[in-house]
Structure 1
Amino acid sequence: MSPTDVEAPIRVALIDDCEVVARGVAAMLADYPGRVDLVEADHRLVVAQPVDIALWDAFAPGAGGEDRLVDDSLVRRTALYTWDVSSRSVLLAQERHLSGVLSKSASAGRLVDALERVDAGENVVMRPEHEIAEERAEEDGWPGRAEGLTRRQSDVVCLVVAGLSNQQIAHACYLSMNSVKSYIRAAYRTMGVSSRSQAVLWGVDHGFRHHLP
């Protein structure tokens, strides 16, 4: 293999974030020099050199709100990098045509994997580590389990109750539109409903509102 055949690491910029987060990300990514390269990390909302991915937190203190998203020709893709991985952040990322939502609670390995998926053109939504741990620790399983819903059907119904469209659910759950429709049809049969409004009411009555992201 010639030197030109070696794939270059993904160039990453962390923008408009606090120094503590910047130092933490730099330390995490330093263990993966052949896969990622953190080339910038400061408080500005612009970059000074071309990067593959810019990480930006719309919900960080002082970030300026949703109207200050990155719009820079030097940035190939932008991902929301936040503690607030929720339906709100997923919708914001979709509305602004970002490349996903990455969790600040993610381990270094999970973050690097997610960056590689974003770099490959995938829209990535990561769940926070504590939510994954809490889900595994739940003794009563998932909402709707007693009524016969599978875990994936329950996840989809939760997002239906939250008001997400099928397209938004597909993005949030990494599913195709056909898969989302299939899960919804199967869930509706189990729940004994025939419309979205009935499904929302059923979900509220069965405790799904307490499990919303």
Structure 2
Amino acid sequence: MPADATTLVLVDDHQMVLHGLDAMLSHFADEVRIVGTATSLSEARGTVDQTRPDIVLCDVRVGRDSGLDFVAELQRTHPETKVVLLTVYDDEHYLFQALRVGARGYILKRIDGRELVAHLRRVNEGEVVIDPALAGRVALSAARISAGEYWPGAHLGLTQRESEVLALLVSGHSNKGVAAKLVVSEDTVKTHIRGLYRKLGVQDRAGAIAVALREGIFH
């Protein structure tokens, strides 16, 4: 393999995805070289420490852990390593969060091998890459934000979904009630709640509601 091939660590909690990526990228061994894989963030930390890759390719969610938090962590511990998120979440709010914490790319898993390698090459050359499928919605969201059309809590870093969850918490809904209202699982609701707690700097529901009322997010 060429010495100048881009080195990669792959992080995904599904072993089948890792096998698929390995098989797909094996056709481009002259351009990319997989130096490690991990199915959890704890495993990924050790793998990155040992291999010092050019790029970490990671999902937005890895089990119950946040790939977004991992991006921010690697910015502190391995600033020379670029992180690209490869995910099924085609949500521009996740994309905005990813860019905010330092991700150098946001790519959807529907991509083929040649396109993925081209994106990784651009990232390794210093570009920030966004999946073309999201480009139109990103531009529209940016235009709305520029026009002042924020959702409640956007100025505190909340995604639109986190804002919706917080509104239901303020209204007195339980996790089960929030899940029913938004037609999602309770585990998904808990994930959003953990995210908004972190962003609001609180430890519990009462603290989140207090911040929401104090900041005038909801009345």
> How would you bin the TM-score normalised by the shorter chain?
0.5 to 0.7
TM-score (norm 2): 0.55
8 Å CA contact retained: 1:102, 1:126: yes
Letter in 2 for 1:12: L
Where do 1:78-89 residues align within 5 Å? 78-89=83-94
User: How many Å separate the matches in 2 of 1:52 and 1:118?
Assistant: 10
- Unmatched 5+ residue regions in structure 2? 150-219
SS in 2 for 1:11: strand
8 Å CA contact retained: 1:53, 1:75: no
1:106 lines up with 2:89 in the alignment:
no
Q: How many residues align?
A: 140
8 Å CA contact retained: 1:54, 1:75: no
Query: 1:90-146 deviations in whole A, cap 9, x for unaligned?
Result: 211211111020221100011000000100000000135xx89xxxxxxxxxxxxxx
8 Å CA contact retained: 1:99, 1:124: yes
- Unmatched 5+ residue regions in structure 1? 1-5, 133-151, 166-195, 199-213
Partner of 1:209: none
Change (3 A) 1:74 1:49: farther
Shift of 1:49: 0.9
TM-score (norm 1): 0.56
8 Å CA contact retained: 1:101, 1:124: yes
Greater helix share, structure number: 2
Q: CA RMSD in A?
A: 2.9
User: How many Å separate the matches in 2 of 1:33 and 1:121?
Assistant: 21
8 Å CA contact retained: 1:15, 1:55: yes
8 Å CA contact retained: 2:58, 2:67: no
Change (3 A) 1:27 1:91: same
Where do 1:155-166 residues align within 5 Å? 156-157=139-140, 159-161=142-144, 163=145, 165=146
1:117 lines up with 2:116 in the alignment:
no
User: How many Å separate the matches in 2 of 1:157 and 1:92?
Assistant: 16
Query: 1:65-93 deviations in whole A, cap 9, x for unaligned?
Result: 64333414285211111111321222112
Change (3 A) 1:112 1:66: closer
User: How many Å separate the matches in 2 of 1:65 and 1:77?
Assistant: 13
Partner of 1:37: 33
Moved more, 24-33 or 79-88: 79-88
Shift of 1:156: 3.5
8 Å CA contact retained: 1:11, 1:39: yes
Letter in 1 for 2:143: V
User: How many Å separate the matches in 2 of 1:92 and 1:197?
Assistant: 18
Partner of 2:60: 58
Q: Where does structure 1 differ by over 4 angstroms across 4 or more consecutive aligned residues?
A: none
